[in-house]
Amino acid sequence: MNIIVTGGAGFIGGNFVHYMLNKYNDYKIICLDALTYAGNMETLEPVINNKNFKFIKGDIADRNLVYKVFEEQKPDIIVNFAAESHVDRSIDAPEIFLKTNIIGTSVLLDACRKYGIKRYHQVSTDEVYGDLPLDRTDLFFTEKTPLHTSSPYSASKASADLLVQAYGRTYKLPITISRCSNNYGPYHFPEKLIPLVIANVLNDRAVPVYGKGENVRDWLYVEDHCRAIDMIIHDGKEGEVYNIGGHNERTNLQVVKTIIKALGKSEKLITYVADRPGHDMRYAIDPTKIENELGWKPQTFFDYGIEKTIKWYIDNKKWWENIINGEYQKYYEKMYGGK
């Protein structure tokens, strides 16, 4: 089996590459990644010499390159993780989100039509459903929840989902889509809440909390997400959408306080900053479909997963220090000013 994993030098794609190479010793995993600011070859260092692994640097929106990769690699399956993924960056500069997340997806779909494929899997997000009110804890996102996006990021991901479904229906392309809640774990880029807080607390820096810190996210350990995608590409029904989430809802303030406590530091590090425009209040996934149809269940619950994640960041300082000491400093300054 030849599997092209796009965005495999990023957080979840990188964990998926590791997961698949560990699990299957007869699959070839081809990583196609443009190495944007979020792509990192150090994430792929543990697998770079694996005989079943190949890395190709390239943009999924580059049609000639993508077609050449399909011709040469003859993939059976595509798993598309490649995306611009950070909501705050999409609010600052939406255009690249449209190019990568929408045009890039359409190029991959066209390549699948042209060369044929056993499965095209789109890694989507729960953000396409918009948000839920804080005072209605009885409500969850199901696969039937209407798309109702808030940010340029989520609008671009929802557009991509619609294209994927259109290619499924019109051209009978064998597609599946997964919509997962917030991931955390090793190799998470430090612009995102959990790794940012861990890095700042370890460095005794202020921890920026947007608004009142009352927004709720539904956290899933990244390996549980990878296992779900593995199940969907093998046993998921063509044309279907699967929600992925493990009922680990926490307010941002709860997450921040958990990390500060685990590292034995003071809550005085918490600094309330201006809220994100259009900030989604609550995400919460109903995973009943994937549990019933594919037998998926999360294996790592938040209290243990966060401990493992903090330990990983302590043991792998070089990985994230290389990032925060480079170009990223300019982004941090622009985003958080002197904080």
Which residues are catalytic, by number? 126-127, 153
- Examine residue 228 and tell whether it contacts ligand DAU (CB under 6 A): no
What sign results for the dihedral spanned by CA atoms 83, 86, 89, 91?
positive
Rounded Cα distance, 236 and 160, in Å: 19
Half-sphere exposure at residue 266, Cβ-oriented, CA atoms within 13 angstroms: 6
Residue 202 CB-density burial (10 A; 0-12 exposed, 13-18 middle, 19+ buried): middle
Which residues, in sequence order, are bridge partners of residue 119? 77
Rounded Cα distance, 278 and 232, in Å: 32
Place of tokens 């560990």: 22
- Examine residue 300 and tell whether it contacts ligand NAD (CB under 6 A): no
- Examine residue 320 and tell whether it contacts ligand DAU (CB under 6 A): no
* Rounded least distance, CB 266 to ligand NAD, Å: 28
Rounded Cα distance, 254 and 232, in Å: 32
- What torsion, rounded to 10 degrees, do the Cα atoms 149, 150, 153, 155 define? 30
Among 34, 158, 196, 306, binds ligand DAU (CB under 6 A): 196
**Contact range with ligand NAD by CB under 6 A, out of 6-14, 144-152, 246-254, 303-311:** 6-14
- Examine residue 86 and tell whether it contacts ligand DAU (CB under 6 A): yes
Query: Please, which of residues 59-118 interact with ligand NAD by CB under 6 A?
Result: 59-61, 81-85, 100, 104
Place of tokens 């690699």: 73
Pick one of ligand DAU, ligand NAD, none as the site partner of residue 81 (Cβ within 5 to 8 A by kind). ligand NAD
* Rounded least distance, CB 135 to ligand NAD, Å: 25
Pick one of ligand DAU, ligand NAD, none as the site partner of residue 193 (Cβ within 5 to 8 A by kind). ligand DAU
Please give the residue ranges that form the binding site for ligand NAD (CB under 6 A): 6-7, 9-13, 33-36, 38-39, 59-61, 81-85, 100, 104, 123, 125, 157, 180, 182-183, 189
